Structure 1
Amino acid sequence: MPVGSPPPARCTRCRLPLTGPDAFALWQVTGELSALDARRQWLVQRHAELLAALRVRRDAPAEIPVAASVGAPGTAPMGGSGAAADASGREFSAPSARTALLIVGGVLVVVAALVFTVVSWGRLGIGGRAAVLLAVTACALALPPVLRRRQLTATAEASAAVGLALVLLDGYAARQAGLGGLDRVGTAGYWAVLTALTAVGAALYGWWQRLRLPLPVGFLMARLPGLLGTAALGGMTGDYATAVIATAAVDFAVLYALTARDAAGQAGFRERVGGERAANGLVAAARAVGGGWALLGGVLAVGYAVVAPSPAEVLRAWVPLGLLMLLGMALCRGFRTLPFALRAGGEGVAVVALIVAVGAGLRYVLPAGWVVVGYAAPAALLAAWAAVYCARSGRWAKPATSRPAGEATDGPTGEATSGPTGGLVAPPSRAAAAVGELVAASTCLLLTGVVVLSELAHALIRPVVHGVVLWGGGHPPQWSWQLATAPLVVLWLSAAVLAVMAGLRARTVGDGDRHTDRLAHALRNAQALTAVPAVLLLPVALGLPYGWVLAAAVVASVAAAVDVVRRPEAALLPRLLVLAATGALALLWSSADRTAVLAVWGTFAATAAVLAHVLSATTSPPAVRTAARGAGAFAVLALGAEAVASGATAGLPGHITAFGVLAVAVAAAGAAAVWHRIPGRGQVSTAVEGAGYALAAIALALTALHPDALSLALAVTGVAGLAVALRPDRRRAALVGTGLLITSSWVRLALAGVSAPEAYTLPITAAALVIGHRRRTSTPGTGSWPAYGAGLGAPMLPCLAAMWSDENWVRPLLLGAAALLATVAGVRTRLQAPLIVGGGVLMLVGLHELAPTVVQVFGLLPRWVPVAAAGLLLLLLGATYEKRIDEARRLRDTVRGMT
């Protein structure tokens, strides 16, 4: 039935009506009966598990009653750590000690038997040897029943383990002695048969005696017969893979047979191994070992098929691959008790085996260089088919959750059935198969893409390599732009599969969820990113000239921009990805030719400006506004790149080209000011303005090694900053502009050889004092330090530092006069900053002038006079301490009273 079609009015088989109250009531009754059947089946299974647990406890040692163990004197508290010491000081329990003794004793017995077999074997005759080994082995294997009846379960397990080890020693000893001509049998073949018999015997022995240890021992020993038998037959890698996969298949078959009775509610495996917990542990371990063994065989088979040197070897590799396919399909469709993920994984392994088998066969049919397509084509077909089934079965329509009682399940034929709403619901086995096939095929297709990634990347960056040599000032040789067809076919297959998956996902989700579905968005975005290089590299594979390929990329980018302008609200992100990808490739490819750079960057600058203008003028969602901001910023940066390319093409040096970049930055600031006045375009104007600032920084960097050009660039940038400060919301730009102008003057003074600090600080002083005075007059309450502190400290502190190394009298005189003027102004206006800065500098100037005299006087006085003077000064201060403190407080209050 086609997707989306209404449900039929009657059943296609029995012709019963499917609508009306009677049909609905019948569906409800059927669901309740299904729930009752499921509940009864669970109760029967639980009954069997409890009965098996009680039967196991029948042969186990008697347990201490809970009432006697809780709170009883001398017993350890419940839930305590096994490693902690109890009240009597014991650090481990009696069962732990018993287990340790049994393990050590069993190992010692096996070692003793090994030494006896290898070292002391020659001291006995053939009869004595056989008698000793058979007697010991028989005793070890006969003791477990007796020990179990005496409730020595652990000892019975240890005795069984010793007996199984002695069986292998018996086999070794028999061959060494040449019993029955066994010494003439090949080593690998003999041990293959012996390990197979021992594995089967251990499993049967443990099942018969109700022992836990022999079952896993036999299961693990069953890994060896296949490998040893293959070695005995002189097999190759494919034969080893077949043996390993066959062993895994036997493992799952035996596991299925053992657990079938428990699934049906009959006593069997769980009772034999000692209860539900032990059975679950053994089943989980067997699944893990069997699955790992199957994966190992799959890796061997895949590797052998991929590197097979001839078609005959490929045919031999199909044997393990086919066996792996059958095993994976059986696990997915036959083992209904497996979790969904494991069943899907089994189907995925089967799909991988099928893809490798087909690809290995096509390798000798396809032309040279098309081997990867032989693997990619079946992977793409299977991925598309699995995606179609997932969509039709409703797997993508809603998340996989636990089904209610009335939901459809596997029928007798495994077909899909209808749910309460009449939609098609996939059975669990088919749903798991579809998911496994989709994941496995998609992964294989992705791996083929990784294989051809290097060739695709080389084709994408080939013009860029030529462009680096061209723009670096060298003389690049002739170059060719080529791409093989096979890698492009793989890329097209990937894009087609993504398109199918994206379309199916969009059809299955509801209209209300289509814009919020993450998987649909991810598929559309991946499709867009894959389709762009697939389309743009097609002219390269066809051998078209460089200009045609570049023109195709430019046209595709402009077309994507026009589509975004025409439909700004429909699936914006995939179209923006297409626009970004096509534009990036066109810009990169244009670097191989100077004229192409000028044409492409100019075209894209105009396109981005139009895109920003149109998108910012619409009442669109935030994503569209973000795209408008990005387009505006890119337009400015593209014009800057155009300026750099124009200067380089004209042969201009970098510090001259910088002024073209600076002109674009100034124009961007002006455009941002104009756009800021238009309602709704403030964010775009901010992006344009930020891009202009970036270009201004680049221009200054280009002139950094040429002081003349740097001074002029700083001056132009400073004037532009003052112009930007005319905007009411950019008043602080005046500080940046003033700083740039001052820096420009510094560079110019340095070029003129001026070293006096006053020449550098006086422009800052003037600007700072003017700005501080305007701030103080326009903002009442502004203190003198924020207003005049920087303006006063900027000239005086550097001049003061230079004064101490200057022997001339002019600088101290001028600095003292300026400090005196500042001090008088501070006193008259009652401002702290002029008074403190001026007074402090004035005192330091006075000390500088008095320093030579003081040094001369101190040189004439005896050395004890300064010490005596200091002591007298301290005494004087101590005598008049209170009075001096009051005077200091009055001075402090006076200064604090100033603003």
Structure 2
Amino acid sequence: MTYSPPPAEELRLIDAELWQLDARRAHLLARRTWLVTVLRQAAAPAQAPAPAIPASGFAPARAEAAVPRVQNVLLVLGGVLLTVAAIAFTLVSWGHLGIAGRALVLGGVTAAVLAAPVPLLARGLRSTGEAVAGLGLALTVLDAYALHEVAFAGADSTGFAAGAAAVLAAGWAAYGTLPRVRELRLPLPAALAAGQLPLLLWAVAAGAGPSVIAGALLVTAAGDTAVALRWAVPAVRVTATAGAFGAGGCGALAAGWLSWSASGPGAAARAALLLLLAAGIAVAAGLRSRAEEHTTGLSVAAGLLAVGALGGLARSVLPAMWTVPAYLVCGVALPAVVRRAALPRALRRGAVLASVAVQGLALVTVVPLVGIALLGPASWVARIWSGAPDGARAAVATEEVWPPYAGTAPLVTAVVAAVLALTVRDGALRARARLTALTAAWATVLVLPPVLDMPYAAGLMVLGVLTAGTLAVAARARGGDLAVTALVLASVTSVAVGFEALAARAATPSVLAVLAVLFAAASTRARLSPVTAPAALVHATALACAAGAAAGWAPQHIALPVLAVPAVAALVAPRTGGAARVPVEVAGGAAGLLAVALAVPAPPMLALVLALCGAITAGAALRPDRRALGHASAALFVLASWVRLAAWEVTAPEAYTLPAALPALVVGVLRRRRDVRASSWAAYGPGLVVALLPSLAAAWTDAHWQRPLLLGAAALLVTLLGARHRLKAPLVLGGAVLALDALHELAPYLVQVTDALPRWVPPALAGLLLLVVGATYERRLRDVRRVREVLGGMD
């Protein structure tokens, strides 16, 4: 029977068909215009004249887009709209057709659309053929969906999708290899894209486990790799490469997770087979690749996958603590195995890089343990001399902090150190390998005492030997980088062993003494002295503090042996190299500050410490390049005298100011003799200010007559000396102090006179004074100018 759609539906179909015809006509007209233009350009002479401008004076408008580009956009839009229309037809109008009608529509439309590109390609309409072919491929997907809804509605959707994907991939591949259709670029990449799904969907539909799903992904990746290596068409190769990386990467990750989480040898073996399959795919691709960098990258991936497979097998039968060594051994053996297989250079280089990556990851697992061994002893600062721990492990960490699988850490670092030291022969890489090997060997010795839980004293001895060994390496190293690395390791180790020695009272001075001697001995090498010499002084300072505390001395008494360090620094600094001189002086100065801080609770001892610091600084100031320290030495002596006076409870300001003022005046005299251009303010001003002003302030509050009298006499003497030698600073300061001191002495009498005079006398005197000043204003102004000129002519 013939099916007639409802009028509304038939009207919609007719409108859609007319719209398609209009679009097709517009496309053909545009194509015709472009072909006519191409033919005219080909027939024109090589040197055609410029196109004439019409009489209107306006040139024809330039097209904003090329004709082929516009054509491609229109074709893509047309194909998308037709695909949408087909989907709408399948979803909306499918139920109105019978079985025969459905089959006729599906088969006829799909076959017609798939056959249309052949005549279009014959006429040179390649872009149109691509668009129509894309529409045909989309229709085949709709055909598969319609077939499922009609004939296989009760079947499993995932299983049907797997079969449909396989059929579509095969059909599209066959369609793309037809003699005329093979010119199209879309069918074969689409077939490859569809080919990614069948195995994966079949595995999911069958309820397979993770191993089977990972295997399906890897087999799919193997097929993609084969296509990418054998097919020359760029679009097919790009699609196959993307599929190989996508499916292969997912499969390799899944296999790696299965290997890591395997609960027994059987599961580990299945995961290992998958990882080896992935490695084989990578090796096969690397062997056929033409770019050396691609081959190297694939070889690195293959090496890591092989290590993961074999290491996972070993991990499944070994205790948990041997997991990292198992993978490490596989990584170390990888380059040797590849070298014997006589593979290309790029593959061998990739295997070496994979081995380096495995060794680097193995070293990363030891970093937490190294951090515990270095930072853990610092906790003894809060519980100093609380008693020696039971063993070296308790000296660096508690049982809660100690890693559970730390037993094989020294083996890991030792293996890496040996491999790097013995196998790297390349000159450019050998220097870096030696640095890493040294660091790995140092880490091995560092973590060995706590890992083996040696006795506390034995652990300290091992760390002391490690410090001496790294210093010896630094002393004998020829390369600068190796020496710097060894120095850093030695310094870090010395800090750790110093903190660890704080656990026992007897161990602290002994360890610090050994460290001071070791760094002092290393300072005989000039290139090491900028680091080792100040480090020796730091350890010596700590030794002085520890020895004094162990003897039961008070902090102010400990300050005296600490002062030996800046004294030694002052003696040693001139004999060291230029680069070590400043670090030695800084270390000595820091020790001096520590001594002062220790002596603060006892003022008499503080005065002694300041005086000794002044003497040490004065000795250093005798050097021509340290003359500026003389000022610091004078300041320290003055501070020492002030602290001593304060300890004696002396309150007279002259006792504090005169010891500082007299040396300042002496220095001013010497300066004026050397430099006659120096002003009196710079030479004598500081000393006079310190000598006179505090006494003047005290005189104003002093009820007795002795201080004002002596201060006035001193100010008068200073004023006369300033006038005699034409010095501005003594004249001005002495005269000002003398006037203020006299005013202070006359103040009581002025008050008495003021009280005795009638109330009208002070205003009258003030008025009279103003009249006199006003009448003689010009003369007084000349006097002021004359005084200013006199003062200006003085020094």
Name the counterpart of 1:425. none
Contact 1:532 1:581 in 2 (8 A): no
Deviations 1:747-799 (A, max 9, x none): 55666777887765554433333223222213443333433344345566778
Name the counterpart of 1:39. none
CA spacing shift, 1:593–1:333, aligned 2, 3 Å: farther
Q: Confirm or deny that 1:501 pairs with 2:420.
A: no
Higher helix fraction (1 or 2): 2
Picking from 256, 262, 269, the partner of 1:302 is 256
How do 1:121-520 and structure 2 match up within 5 A? 121-148=94-121, 153-177=126-150, 179=151, 182-202=152-172, 205=175, 208-259=181-232, 269=233, 279=234, 283=237, 287=241, 290-335=244-289, 337-338=290-291, 340-383=292-335, 430-455=344-369, 457-458=371-372, 464=377, 467-471=380-384, 474=386, 478=390, 481=393, 485-502=407-424, 504-505=425-426, 509=427, 517=428, 519-520=429-430
Picking from 673, 676, 680, the partner of 1:777 is 673
Structure 1 residue 175 displacement after superposition = 0.9
CA spacing shift, 1:555–1:452, aligned 2, 3 Å: closer
Structure 1 residue 583 displacement after superposition = 4.8
Contact 2:304 2:358 in 1 (8 A): yes
SS for the counterpart of 1:639 is helix
Deviations 1:222-249 (A, max 9, x none): 4333432221222333333222232222
SS for the counterpart of 1:183 is coil
Structure 1 residue 214 displacement after superposition = 4.4
Name the counterpart of 2:559. 658
CA spacing shift, 1:750–1:102, aligned 2, 3 Å: farther
Deviations 1:652-693 (A, max 9, x none): 4444433322222223323445x36xxxx5655554433222
The letter of the residue matching 1:499 is A
Picking from 634, 639, 655, the partner of 2:540 is 639
How do 1:838-857 and structure 2 match up within 5 A? none
Deviations 1:329-384 (A, max 9, x none): 1122222x12x222111111111111111111112332342222221211122256
CA spacing shift, 1:247–1:839, aligned 2, 3 Å: farther
Contact 2:299 2:347 in 1 (8 A): yes
Alignment partners' CA distance in 2, 1:845 and 1:792: 15
CA spacing shift, 1:579–1:451, aligned 2, 3 Å: closer
CA spacing shift, 1:358–1:762, aligned 2, 3 Å: same
Alignment partners' CA distance in 2, 1:216 and 1:671: 80
Structure 1: which 5+ residue stretches go unaligned? 1-57, 75-85, 260-268, 270-278, 390-413, 416-428, 510-516, 616-624
Alignment partners' CA distance in 1, 2:114 and 2:138: 10
CA spacing shift, 1:209–1:845, aligned 2, 3 Å: farther
Name the counterpart of 2:586. 690
Alignment partners' CA distance in 1, 2:407 and 2:792: 86
SS for the counterpart of 2:262 is coil
Alignment partners' CA distance in 2, 1:383 and 1:790: 79
Q: Which moved more, 1:834-843 or 1:446-455?
A: 834-843
Alignment partners' CA distance in 2, 1:660 and 1:458: 34
CA spacing shift, 1:806–1:450, aligned 2, 3 Å: same
Alignment partners' CA distance in 2, 1:378 and 1:607: 41
Contact 2:606 2:640 in 1 (8 A): yes
Contact 1:488 1:534 in 2 (8 A): yes
Q: Percent identity?
A: 34
The letter of the residue matching 2:226 is A
Name the counterpart of 1:403. none
Name the counterpart of 1:740. 636
CA spacing shift, 1:255–1:787, aligned 2, 3 Å: same
Alignment partners' CA distance in 2, 1:599 and 1:584: 14
Deviations 1:244-267 (A, max 9, x none): 2322222221111113xxxxxxxx
Deviations 1:691-731 (A, max 9, x none): 22221123334445665554443332122212222233322
Alignment partners' CA distance in 2, 1:827 and 1:540: 81
Alignment partners' CA distance in 1, 2:246 and 2:197: 15
CA spacing shift, 1:358–1:831, aligned 2, 3 Å: same
> What TM-score do the two structures reach when normalised by structure 2?
0.76
SS for the counterpart of 1:363 is helix
Contact 2:279 2:305 in 1 (8 A): yes
SS for the counterpart of 2:185 is coil
Alignment partners' CA distance in 2, 1:125 and 1:799: 124
CA spacing shift, 1:534–1:475, aligned 2, 3 Å: closer
Contact 2:544 2:558 in 1 (8 A): yes
The letter of the residue matching 1:356 is G
CA spacing shift, 1:764–1:299, aligned 2, 3 Å: farther
Alignment partners' CA distance in 1, 2:243 and 2:114: 27
Contact 1:328 1:347 in 2 (8 A): yes
Alignment partners' CA distance in 2, 1:784 and 1:522: 64
Alignment partners' CA distance in 1, 2:561 and 2:469: 30
Q: Confirm or deny that 1:551 pairs with 2:551.
A: no
CA spacing shift, 1:302–1:851, aligned 2, 3 Å: farther
Structure 1 residue 468 displacement after superposition = 3.7
Name the counterpart of 2:621. 725
The letter of the residue matching 1:363 is R
Alignment partners' CA distance in 2, 1:204 and 1:796: 113
CA spacing shift, 1:543–1:890, aligned 2, 3 Å: same
Contact 1:820 1:838 in 2 (8 A): yes
Contact 2:262 2:316 in 1 (8 A): no
Alignment partners' CA distance in 2, 1:786 and 1:236: 94
Structure 2: which 5+ residue stretches go unaligned? 1-33, 54-58, 395-404
